[in-house]
């Protein structure tokens, strides 16, 4: 066994997994708060990548610094989308949300294609190819920055959820939407804000995604399946679970890709998912609940 | 809810896998059928109105970047034909529909273009993946199917007589020119090891296989050989594995997104092969250069049939027209434009020789004539494979030029490739 290669795959998996973790935690948040399945979340990631790319190109602002523009803008986009398209869903939210958010993904893809074209672009930063060596493996600084950003975003999210009144309202809504409403929480406002936060986190993930990958408006197709699997593995509604599941599953995928075959890498994703559904269907940090009927 | 999400995840993952190839019937054809020309449109009609040419374009999905160039070239060809009085004196009208790079949608599109829209002629879509199922529909209605980029062996081995690839050489042989170049080097300089990696694509996979056969027969040892799903979102682990082999040659069966990703990862891993070939990418003008960076270009190779500065038939007119209509500069033009424009040129010559837009008559001409195109002159064998040959292109002193075979070379090839960042 080539230990250097194994170590390299493990490091890459952890660093890339962190970025997927941020993307997936935004998705998990909207699952938890709103009881909707946002299959348009990856399209929001790509929207964030485009905004970051444009900020970098026109304002010459480093994409990480450009998050001061990308994140608020993504938050606003998220809130507007929630108010216009998700809020009107009053019945059968779970099932209908799949259709509505998929339509949103296609619409976002169309809008991005109209404004930016279908050619592939990439946020090419000056330090994109700079590396340092650990254990014989070259590690790009940009992956380290992406991972640190992901950890910072998760810490900020945890602080928001556990240290603020808004966070308490969000957690209450996640636990029981009807009960939260009964104690005076404006769940519609909480939902809009949560969707906005989810979109902002997608913007964070999109920023890093755009630095390490060439992308165009339909790059979201490659992402959404992975993100949904990560959310289920982590436990629906658990941001911590989504983050840790992303680290685990991307590591497994990368190691499989390097040590066995790329053909088996995607399958490993679903093997882990299947085992989890059999052994612990609520995911790592999910809670089995019996809802009122 | 968990069940719904899981189900969604699984179905989206399956959808993301491209839906698989489909040669299945999208519906019962109305009228005609067989190979005899289904209805008046296939037989050319008798009207004096515009000649309607239908084409399915990948405006979204995996091939959208290439699809956009194909659409531009088809429209440019039609505009230029119309500016010169049309085809057989009739105006040419293009009808485009989006297939979203989907094997199912492309079948529906050609079914609709032929049986509902009654297009007189059809042009092919981008890629072998889409050409294979859609050409079956065209065949069923007796339509000639000249296409720009369906070069997989499978395109030509299904017993269809209506499919013609408008390139000088069948695509599945494209990368072999790189192998012939390497084996032409003095024995002491020849590479000893090679790493191969390729998308799971019916077009690109066979190209890499053909190259591998050439190099292995020439004594170059294979040290890595893998394929990966086309929708793979992360290429870094693969690049790491290839870098770890320290192979003399890296042969990449890629398109622009994965090609640029591998390049960046190789740079990061400080892996400098003596020679590197991409199935697609270095020939794609600015859309490639901007992503990999100017100082990494020298030594990159790819098979090419066309260059903007060639004095081939209609090339000057195409390049000038393209730049006027769509902007940019000649060096930044994609090879896809030339391939798709050649489709128009081939059809135009076949129609003019047949004095008709009858598809049966056009197919007869396509099997018997030699055609002049912006990519050079070529004809087709009985399978529809083009009978010309390709060149090896390489970035030399920041210019994209032909370097092999020697008779057609515009510059001496660079070997070994300079280290990343030093070219």
Q: Chain B contacts of A40, Cβ < 8 Å?
A: none
Q: ipTM of this model?
A: 0.81
pTM equals 0.75
**Under an 8 A CB cutoff, do A214 and B261 touch?**
yes
Average pLDDT, chain A: 90
Show which of residues 185-224 on chain A sit within 8 Å of chain B, judged by CB atoms: 212-218, 221-224
Closest to B211 in 3D by CA, of B180, B248, B242: B180
What pLDDT was estimated at residue A289?
A: 54
> Among partner residues A224, A232, A261, which is closest to B6 by beta-carbon distance?
A232
Average pLDDT estimate for B341-364:
97
Rg (chain A; Cα; Å): 19
pLDDT digits (tens, 9 = 90+) for B367-411: 999 999 999 999 999 999 998 888 999 999 999 999 999 988 999
**Candidates B8, B256, B265, B296, partner chain A, best to mutate (most A CBs within 10 A):** B8
* Helices marked H in B269-334: 286-292, 315-326
pLDDT digits (tens, 9 = 90+) for B225-278: 999 987 776 889 999 999 999 999 999 999 888 899 999 999 999 999 999 999
Burial class (CB in 10 A: 0-12, 13-18, 19+), A291: exposed
Integer Cα distance of A41 and B59 in angstroms: 22
Q: First vs last Cα of chain A: how many Å apart?
A: 54
Closest to B169 in 3D by CA, of B391, B389, B14: B389
**Under an 8 A CB cutoff, do A281 and B2 touch?**
yes
The pLDDT confidence band at residue B412, using thresholds 50, 70 and 90, is very high
Backbone angles phi, psi at A199, to 5 degrees: -65, -40
Q: Which of A172-176, A217-221, B5-9, B57-61 has the lowest mean pLDDT?
A: B5-9
Average pLDDT estimate for A60-87:
96
pLDDT at A287 over 80: no
The tokens 């405006």 sit on which residue? B59
On the CB side of B336, how many CA atoms lie within 13 Å of its CA? Answer: 30
Q: A289 vs B316, which has greater pLDDT?
A: B316
| DSSP at B143 | -
**Under an 8 A CB cutoff, do A221 and B9 touch?**
no
Show which of residues 116-175 on chain B sit within 8 Å of chain A, judged by CB atoms: none
pLDDT at A278 over 50: yes
Is the preceding omega at residue B405 within 30 degrees of 0, hence cis?
yes
**Under an 8 A CB cutoff, do A270 and B226 touch?**
no
The pLDDT confidence band at residue A45, using thresholds 50, 70 and 90, is very high
Q: B236 vs B287, which has greater pLDDT?
A: B236
* Helices marked H in B165-255: 176-183, 204-217, 236-245
pLDDT at B422 over 90: no
Closest to B279 in 3D by CA, of B167, B393, B184: B393
Average pLDDT, chain B: 87
pLDDT at B22 over 80: no
pLDDT digits (tens, 9 = 90+) for A176-197: 888 999 999 999 999 999 999 9
What pLDDT was estimated at residue B201?
A: 80
Closest to B395 in 3D by CA, of B238, B289, B265: B289
Q: Which residues contact B236 (CB under 8 A, 6 or more apart)?
A: A12, A16, A212, A254, B261, B265
Average pLDDT estimate for B202-211:
88
CB proximity B8 to A under 8 Å? yes
């Amino acid at each position: 066994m080539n230990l250097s290669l194994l170590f390299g795959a493990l490091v890459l998996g952890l660093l890339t997994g962190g970025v997927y973790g941020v993307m997936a935690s935004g998705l998990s948040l909207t699952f938890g708060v709103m009881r909707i399945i946002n299959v348009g979340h990856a399209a929001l990631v790509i929207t964030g990548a485009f905004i970051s790319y444009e900020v970098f190109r026109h304002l010459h602002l480093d994409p990480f610094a450009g998050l001061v523009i990308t994140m608020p803008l993504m938050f606003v986009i998220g809130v507007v989308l929630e108010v216009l398209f998700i809020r009107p869903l009053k019945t059968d939210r779970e099932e209908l949300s799949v259709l509505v958010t998929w339509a949103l993904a296609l619409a976002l893809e169309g809008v991005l294609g109209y404004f930016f074209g279908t050619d592939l672009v990439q946020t090419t930063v000056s330090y994109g190819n700079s590396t340092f060596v650990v254990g014989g493996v070259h590690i790009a600084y940009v992956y380290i920055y992406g991972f640190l950003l992901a950890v910072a975003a998760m810490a900020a999210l945890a602080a928001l959820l556990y240290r603020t009144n808004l966070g308490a309202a969000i957690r209450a809504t996640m636990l029981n939407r009807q009960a939260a409403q009964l104690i005076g929480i404006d769940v519609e406002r909480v939902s809009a804000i949560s969707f906005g936060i989810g979109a902002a986190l997608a913007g964070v993930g999109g920023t890093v995604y755009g630095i390490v990958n060439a992308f165009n408006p339909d790059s979201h197709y490659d992402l959404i399946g992975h993100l949904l699997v990560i959310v289920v593995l982590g436990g629906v509604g658990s941001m911590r679970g989504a983050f840790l599941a992303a680290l685990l599953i991307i590591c497994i995928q990368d190691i499989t890709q390097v040590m066995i075959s790329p053909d088996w890498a995607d399958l490993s994703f679903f093997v882990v998912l299947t085992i989890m559904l059999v052994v612990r269907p609520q995911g790592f940090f999910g809670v089995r609940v019996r809802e009122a009927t | 809810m968990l069940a719904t999400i899981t189900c969604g995840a699984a179905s989206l993952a399956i959808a993301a896998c491209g839906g698989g190839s489909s040669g299945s019937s999208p519906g019962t054809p109305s009228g005609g059928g067989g190979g005899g020309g289904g209805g008046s449109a296939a037989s050319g009609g008798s009207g004096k109105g515009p000649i309607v040419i239908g084409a399915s374009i990948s405006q979204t999905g995996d091939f959208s970047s290439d699809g956009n160039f194909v659409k531009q070239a088809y429209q440019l060809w039609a505009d230029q034909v119309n500016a010169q009085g049309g085809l057989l004196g009739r105006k040419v009208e293009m009808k485009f529909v989006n297939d979203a790079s989907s094997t199912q949608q492309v079948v529906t599109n050609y079914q609709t273009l032929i049986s509902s829209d009654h297009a007189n002629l059809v042009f092919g879509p981008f890629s072998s993946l889409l050409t294979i199922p859609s050409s079956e529909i065209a065949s069923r209605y007796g339509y000639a199917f000249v296409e720009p980029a369906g070069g997989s062996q499978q395109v030509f081995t299904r017993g269809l007589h209506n499919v013609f690839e408008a390139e000088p050489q069948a695509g599945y042989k494209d990368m072999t020119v790189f192998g012939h170049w390497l084996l032409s080097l003095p024995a002491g300089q020849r590479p000893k090891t090679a790493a191969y990696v390729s998308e799971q694509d019916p077009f690109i996979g066979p190209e890499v296989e053909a190259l591998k056969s050439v190099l292995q027969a020439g004594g170059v040892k294979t040290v890595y050989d893998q394929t990966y799903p086309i929708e793979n979102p992360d290429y870094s682990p693969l690049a790491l594995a290839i870098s770890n082999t320290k192979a003399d040659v890296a042969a990449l069966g890629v398109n622009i997104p994965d090609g640029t990703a591998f390049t960046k990862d190789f740079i990061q891993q400080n892996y400098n092969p003596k020679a590197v070939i991409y199935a697609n990418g270095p020939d794609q003008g600015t859309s490639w250069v901007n992503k990999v960076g100017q100082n990494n270009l020298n030594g990159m190779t790819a098979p090419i049939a066309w260059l903007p500065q060639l004095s081939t038939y209609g090339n000057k007119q195409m390049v000038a027209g393209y730049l006027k209509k769509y902007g940019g500069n000649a060096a930044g033009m994609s090879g896809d434009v030339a391939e798709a424009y050649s489709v128009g040129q081939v059809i135009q010559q076949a129609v003019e020789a047949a004095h008709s837009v009858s598809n049966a008559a056009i197919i007869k001409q396509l099997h018997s004539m030699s055609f002049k195109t912006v990519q050079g002159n070529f004809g087709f064998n009985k399978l529809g494979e083009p009978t010309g040959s390709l060149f090896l292109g390489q970035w030399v002193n920041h210019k994209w030029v032909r370097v092999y075979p020697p008779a057609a070379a515009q510059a001496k090839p660079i070997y070994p490739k300079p280290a990343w960042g030093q070219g």
